[in-house]
């Protein structure tokens, strides 16, 4: 094969194409061809240097998509930068592994072997996103590249993010075979027709599905979402805590004018451990009882066990006439909120990178929220958890009818991070056909409908409230009922595909 561009250049191009298809750029169509330059590079190298070139693609993609991690103003520049580079270096290993597998596939099966590329990639994505894995990171799923092509993401209700990622890589495989595969002209014409039908059909199917979901008979409950837009550094100053709590309650009263029955406050909206500040707890309780409204408030929490204090990033459920319940974040951010493997190696507790050292919560709490007359079962995720489909599904298994996401993206500033975070929440809504009220301290707050459509939002850096009638009671999806059957099936097919590759004789390049 004639070399027109250096292999490294093509690998870099693949990484950049993925970045441009990812939020906030959302040039979704670029993801349909993003793998092709890397595959061309591997082919022209005689199916060699797979790990290196795959790693380069992953490094460019992750570096340009996750560089906002270094903007974290909640820690020092050096710690934030080291965290970002460590994450980039780690995640790039999975891309290197993918390049290695593609090389072995091309070497033994030729270009036709790249029909297996979708199952190999989805299997890798499944593994690095798996919740049982200590360094799980589902944030970079290729499903998020289709954020601007909402009809295409509708297939997530059947197979989760893995179904959407499979679709993306399959389009890459078809286009690669059309241009570089050994197929006849007549077959090419047939495949082009099938490809066009497949893409157009996917859009039509998704659009129809969105319309059906939007017109489904259901009940609603009026939800108020509060965006405080507080400076994360200022609100923790002791002398200003009362002022901040007073301000968010004033915003909540505005939402009551529009008949909100549930009020969603952001992560750490109450800048305190409520056990240390019982007067804040009393204020919220009085507000809830006097207005017959429920409040979900983010705050810190602690418990004493065996003479030792355990600290949690939590959400407090206040509902009229009922005791307060507490949900504590299960999916803690590695190194920022907890050192990985600290349970196995307690000595790691002595490390200090400026992390919070939170304990993970154990229960996916679903709690009745609303007024005394109108009530629904609400679950919530805190910040980074919303990118994790496994944690979200626990709440749906516990019969949540409405979900919320509370977050504090203020540490990230005006970066791609908040846009990517919002996109992850939209996928969760589609997977389970559930309404999601997203309250972010400095934005982007939004009401996300079961179709993934954003019904109302508050931009970054603005103070405001959203009041919206959230749809409830939609039928449970295949993904809700059966979980990652699609992902596991692809994992099995990938294992069979690897066996085929390993036991095939090497083809001539």
**Residue 509 reports pLDDT greater than 70:** no
**What tens digit of pLDDT does each residue of 476-499 get?**
999 999 999 999 999 999 999 999
Band (339; pLDDT cuts 50, 70, 90): low
DSSP designation for 4: S
Percent of the chain at pLDDT > 70 equals 91
Q: What is the pLDDT of residue 355?
A: 53
Q: What is the pLDDT of residue 335?
A: 64
Q: Is the C-alpha dihedral spanning 77, 81, 82, 87 positive or negative?
A: positive
- β-partners of residue 472 are 219
Instruction: Decide if 88 contacts 56 (C-beta within 8 A).
Output: no
Band (116; pLDDT cuts 50, 70, 90): very high
Instruction: Decide if 242 contacts 283 (C-beta within 8 A).
Output: no
Determine how β-strand 436-440 pairs with β-strand 402-407: parallel
Q: What is the pLDDT of residue 340?
A: 62
- Of the candidates 11, 26, 123, 9, the one whose C-alpha atom is nearest the C-alpha of residue 65 is 26
**Residue 139 reports pLDDT greater than 70:** yes
Determine how β-strand 436-440 pairs with β-strand 366-370: unpaired
Helices (H) and strands (E) in the chain, counts: 13, 12
What integer is the mean pLDDT of 103-109? 94
Q: Structural domain boundaries of the chain?
A: 7-214+484-502, 219-474
Percent of the chain at pLDDT > 90 equals 66
CATH class of 219-474: alpha beta
């Amino acid at each position: 094969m004639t070399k027109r561009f250096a292999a490294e250049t093509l690998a870099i191009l693949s990484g950049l194409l993925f970045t441009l298809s990812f939020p906030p750029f959302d040039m979704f169509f670029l993801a349909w061809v993003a793998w092709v330059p890397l595959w061309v590079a591997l082919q022209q190298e005689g199916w060699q240097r797979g790990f290196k070139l795959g790693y380069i693609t992953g490094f460019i993609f992750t570096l340009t998509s996750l560089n906002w991690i270094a903007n974290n103003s909640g820690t020092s520049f050096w710690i934030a930068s080291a965290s970002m580079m460590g994450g980039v270096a780690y995640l790039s290993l999975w891309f290197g592994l993918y390049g290695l597998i593609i090389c072995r596939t091309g070497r033994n099966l030729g270009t036709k072997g790249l029909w297996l590329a979708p199952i190999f990639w989805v299997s890798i994505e499944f593994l690095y996103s798996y919740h049982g894995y200590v360094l799980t990171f589902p944030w970079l799923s290729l499903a998020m590249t289709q954020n601007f092509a909402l009809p295409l993401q509708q297939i997530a209700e059947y197979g989760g993010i893995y179904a959407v990622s499979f679709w993306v890589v399959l389009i890459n495989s078809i286009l690669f075979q059309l241009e570089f595969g050994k197929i006849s002209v007549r077959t090419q014409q047939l495949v082009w027709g099938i490809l066009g039908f497949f893409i157009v059909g996917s859009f039509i199917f998704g659009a129809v599905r969105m319309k059906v979901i939007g017109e489904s008979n259901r009940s609603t409950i009026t939800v108020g979402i509060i965006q405080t837009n507080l400076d994360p550094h200022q609100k923790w100053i002791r002398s200003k805590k009362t002022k901040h709590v007073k301000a968010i309650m004033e915003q909540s009263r505005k939402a009551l004018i529009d008949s909100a029955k549930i009020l969603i406050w952001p992560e750490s909206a109450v800048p305190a451990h409520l056990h240390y500040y019982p007067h804040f707890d009393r204020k919220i309780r009085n507000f809830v009882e006097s207005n017959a409204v429920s409040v979900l408030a983010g705050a810190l929490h602690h418990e004493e066990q065996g003479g030792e204090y355990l600290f949690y990033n939590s959400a407090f459920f206040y509902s009229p006439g009922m005791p307060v319940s507490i949900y504590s974040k299960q999916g803690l951010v590695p190194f920022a909120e907890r050192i990985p493997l600290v349970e196995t190696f307690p000595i790691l507790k002595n490390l200090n990178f400026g992390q919070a050292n939170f304990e993970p919560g154990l229960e996916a709490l679903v709690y009745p929220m609303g007024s005394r007359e109108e009530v629904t079962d609400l679950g919530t995720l805190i910040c980074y958890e919303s990118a994790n489909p496994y944690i979200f599904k626990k709440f749906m298994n516990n019969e949540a009818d409405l979900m919320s996401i509370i977050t504090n993206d203020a540490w990230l500033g005006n970066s791609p991070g908040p846009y990517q975070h919002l996109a992850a929440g939209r996928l969760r809504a589609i997977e389970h056909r559930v309404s999601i009220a997203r309250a972010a301290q400095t934005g982007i707050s939004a009401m996300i409908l079961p179709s993934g459509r954003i019904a109302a939002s508050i931009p970054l850096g603005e103070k405001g409230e959203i009041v919206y009638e959230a749809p409830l009671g939609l039928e449970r999806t295949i993904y809700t009922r059966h979980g990652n059957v699609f992902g596991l099936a692809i994992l099995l097919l990938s294992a069979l595909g690897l066996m085929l590759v390993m036991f095939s004789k090497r083809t001539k390049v």
